[in-house]
Amino acid sequence: MIRRFRRGLDADDMGRDMALAEALGALDPSSRDPNYWLRFRGWVVTGASRELARRRLMAELTVGDVLTSWARMVVPTAVLAAAMAGMMLMRGGGVTEHPIGVEELLVSDIPRETVPVLLSPDAATGVVAFASEIF
**Which residues of the chain form contacts with other proteins (CB under 8 A)?**
6, 9-10, 12-14, 16-17, 19-29, 31-32, 37, 40-41, 43-45, 47-49, 51-59
Smallest gap from residue 52 Cβ to other proteins (A): 5
Nearer to other proteins, 5 or 135 (CB): 5
Smallest gap from residue 82 Cβ to other proteins (A): 39
Smallest gap from residue 64 Cβ to other proteins (A): 18
What is d(CA 69, CA 62) in angstroms, rounded to the nearest whole number? 11
Nearer to other proteins, 41 or 74 (CB): 41
Nearer to other proteins, 7 or 71 (CB): 7
Smallest gap from residue 94 Cβ to other proteins (A): 55
